[in-house]
Structure 1
Amino acid sequence: MKIKLLIPALLSFVSIVALPARAAETRCGWLYNPTPANWFLTDRAGNWTISVQGGYQARGMNFLPNIDSRQFVKTNGNYGYGCACLSVTPNRKQMRITEIKSGKGLPLSTCQRDRNLPKKP
């Protein structure tokens, strides 16, 4: 009899402890690296902070894509911007990317044609 009472309590505990992880979202837009360790993504929802020099840094920075040099616009030495899609976990309230799961560089024309993105980064 005690086992019958224990099972529902145990299942309730397991469901509380084993909360599902937040699902990754795909966000595509302008990927900026204006200066060392500063990374931002501008998509249709706005400007997302990925990393700030000496401060905030998303997990998974090693998953940022290597953008083809022909698809990267240099604006400050070796720094600049390109077009990319990232699979991320965002914090919408703070407009931060908390984790990068993967990324892929896209042709500049993809972002240039997207009416939901600013025309000039």
Structure 2
Amino acid sequence: MKYHITAAVITAALTIAANAQAAETRCGWIENPTPANWWLEDAENTWTIMTQGDDAGEVEGIELISDISEHEYVRTNGNYGYACACMSVETDGKQRIKKILSFRQLKLARCRADKALKFPG
């Protein structure tokens, strides 16, 4: 009996782990050039967070991205622009961020000093 319970618990844990997507830490330029358009450009890729009129809709966790204009950012279009940030996210492995788990805005100097990052714009 004890063996069956242990086996059931291990099987359940493995099933949950297999179905869970791995969180990735992505750091780079967070860009918001116009309303409802967001992406993150890191050393590996340009990750689409959301685009205006996109059928995919709003990304889960988008509310975790605070108003980037309250900290260091570059204004490019009225109240819109770009900043430096690190995010914990789940991606589709190709080009889209599917879920935002955390967001932390950084000093612009951090991204400017990173030679692996392409300058936005």
Normalised by the shorter chain, which TM-score bucket?
A: 0.7 to 0.9
Residue aligned with 1:18, SS: helix
Contact 1:67/1:106 (8 A) holds in 2: no
Residue aligned with 1:119, SS: coil
Q: TM-score normalised to the size of structure 2?
A: 0.81
Q: TM-score normalised to the size of structure 1?
A: 0.81
Matched, 1:64 2:62: no
- Alignment deviations for residues 40-93 of structure 1 (CA, whole Å, 9 cap, x no partner): 000011100001112133211001133354511111111110100011011112
Structure 2 unaligned residues grouped into runs of 5+:
none
- Give the C-alpha shift of residue 13 in structure 1: 6.7
Contact 1:65/1:84 (8 A) holds in 2: no
Contact 1:64/1:86 (8 A) holds in 2: no
Structure 1 unaligned residues grouped into runs of 5+:
none
Alignment partners' CA distance in 1, 2:13 and 2:84: 40
Contact 1:66/1:105 (8 A) holds in 2: no
Counterpart of 1:98 in structure 2 is 98
Residue aligned with 1:112, SS: helix
